[in-house]
Amino acid sequence: MKKNVKWFAAVLAALTLGYGAVSCGSDSKEPEWEWPDPDPDPDPEPGVEKPRFIWVDAAANFPDFANSKENILRDLTKAREAGFTDIVVDVRPTTGDVLFRTSVVDQVEWLGAWLPGGYSKVERTATWDYLQAFIDAGKSLDLRIHAAINTFTGGNQTSLGGAGVVFRDEAKRAWTTDLNLAGGITNIMSTSQSAKFFNPVLPEVQEYLCSMLKDLAAYDGLAGIFLDRGRFDGFTSDFSNYTRKEFEKYIGRSVASFPADILPAGHTSGIPSPEPVHMKQWLEFRAKVIHDFMEKAPTDPKDVVRFVKEVPYWTAKKHGKKYRLMYQVYTHPKYIEYGKKFFEGVNERYTEYAKRLEPKIGIPYTVITPLIFIFVRACVHYAMFEDEYYLKSQMEVLKQGVALFADKYRSQYLNGGNEK
């Protein structure tokens, strides 16, 4: 049953994320994505224990934990006795290899750590599940266990040598970031920098990480997931040809002098003077890349359900006036032909998005497309008319429809196939 719930949530998440990608746009030069103002921290509820977190770094603790469940239990017991309530376990260090079950990338074989004799390799010979050992120990001690990953790293270079997928796989090596250094645009693999970052803009990088996160989120008993290093590798990243093209698409024009019109070569912090013509748009573009990636990676079915419930009300608050104006304009006899053309474009975007989802969630795009329509139309209708009954009726149909299709196509998806 839990697997069905998680599968249902994954499908529903994919469909609802499409809302942001294909909803009604405008010709405004302002970015269409918005972040709501954060709510102030509420006063703690009486009698509710304030959470206290401790972070368990993979490399620093590898000598003790790599091959000993007993040591894990010992130290978690001490943490509980000291008043900690939550443990964050580093399960993907900067090497990019992992300490949890997944077929996406290799398990960590060794990490560098400081020992009495100096900085040395610590090998992992145990075959038991590292993360599961923490979850089991946490359950026995009433501790909440969270997993943390170094998100956009794929390798690490130290005095002990290079470790990670970018040192083993030439195709993954091609995903690494290009830096705008004083000596010119340089791939990070050609520098002495330890952590080898991927380029977050690349779709294959994001899909690779989302596949990994899907396996991580499948752990029963995991309280949450922390995405550490969920960023570009500093100010000088990423200046590859691919990122340049995507940025030019974003601003709708070519960059005349690249990279000087964005960032002077070798500039590592602060706003340079004079300010390059496209710098602010560049920072905005980079922020949107990371924001959109985070939206692709829901990790908790409860969060997905909450998202579905909240989006219609958020849409009404943020866009209700705009949608009501569009409705009046496009239904007027004078402008109805313009409205038809506009919605033809919307329909094409919905279908294109559904086609991109098909191989990811295993449901034919011909089935996904009407589900997207139901969700978006319900949100827009509520934004215009605030018809609660209509909204709940549509959402109930959507949830039941997703559940039915998820169950129908689930086995095909898990087996890597999709019969239409």
Largest CA distance in the chain: 83
Q: What are the helix (H) ranges across 257-362?
A: 279-296, 301-330, 336-361
Go through 147-175 and write b for each residue having 16 or more CB atoms within 10 A of its CB, e for each that does not: bbbbbbbbbbbeeeeebbbbbbeeebbeb
Range of the structural domain that residue 207 is part of:
49-166+189-232+276-296
Does 309 lie in the same domain as 289?
Answer: no
Cis peptide, bond prior to residue 200, ω within 30 of zero = no
Place of tokens 């918005």: 34
User: What radius of gyration do the chain's Cα atoms show?
Assistant: 24
Q: At what angle do helices 365-385 and 2-22 cross, to 10 degrees?
A: 70
- 226 and 331 in a single domain? The answer is no
Q: What is the pLDDT of residue 28?
A: 44
**Mean pLDDT, range 114-141, rounded to an integer:** 96
- Give the span between the Cα atoms of 140 and 133, in whole angstroms: 11
Whether residues 394 and 349 fall in one domain: yes
User: Is residue 120 domain-shared with residue 227, that is, in the same domain?
Assistant: yes
* Judgement on whether residues 340 and 200 belong to the same structural domain of the protein: no
* One-letter amino acid for residue 2 of the chain: K
Give me the CATH number covering residue 102: 3.20.20.80
Same-domain pairing of 348 and 228: no
Spatial CB neighbours of 197, under 8 Å, sequence gap ≥ 6: 152, 153, 154, 176, 177, 188, 229, 232, 233, 237
Q: Which residue has the tokens 């003790």?
A: 64
Same domain, 327 and 360: yes
Higher pLDDT pick, 68 / 29: 68
User: Tokens representing 176?
Assistant: 């690494």
Give the model's pLDDT for residue 21: 42
Strands 144-150 and 222-228: parallel
**3-state DSSP call for residue 187?**
strand
Cα 131 to Cα 102: distance, rounded to the nearest angstrom: 12
**Does 110 map to a domain?**
yes
Tokens matching residue 301: 């079915």
Q: Confidence class of residue 299 from pLDDT cuts 50, 70 and 90?
A: very low
Q: Are 333 and 339 in contact (CB under 8 A)?
A: no
Query: What tokens does 75 get?
Result: 């130290």
Give yes or no: residues 282 and 340 share one domain: no
> In b/e form, how buried is each residue of 344-371, taking b as 16+ CB within 10 angstroms?
eeeeebbbebbeebbebbbbbbebbbeb
- Asked whether residue 387 is domain-assigned, the answer is yes
Share of the chain above pLDDT 70, in %: 80
Q: Are 376 and 19 in contact (CB under 8 A)?
A: yes
Sheet architecture: strand order including 161-163: 161-163, 153-158, 195-197
Q: How many residues does the chain have?
A: 420
Confidence of residue 316 (pLDDT cuts 50, 70, 90): confident
Same domain? For 397 and 314 the reply is yes
Calculate the dihedral angle through the C-alpha atoms of 344, 345, 350, 351, rounding to the nearest 10 degrees.
70
CB 69 within 8 Å of CB 133 = yes
Torsions phi, psi of 226, nearest 5?
Answer: -105, 130
> Whole-model pTM above 0.85?
no
What's the mean pLDDT in 353-361?
A: 73
Whether residue 198 sits in one domain with residue 72: yes
Q: Is residue 66 part of a domain?
A: yes
At 143 the three-state DSSP class reads coil
The Cα–Cα gap between 327 and 384 comes to: 8
Same domain, 106 and 133: yes
At residue 285, what is the residue type? F
Report the percentage of the chain scoring pLDDT > 90: 53
* Residue 413 confidence (pLDDT): 44
Which tokens in the block code for residue 363? 């449901």
What pLDDT sits at residue 214?
A: 87
pLDDT tens, residue by residue, 23-43: 444 444 445 445 556 556 555
Our count of domains for the chain comes to 2
* Residues 200, 101 within the same domain: yes
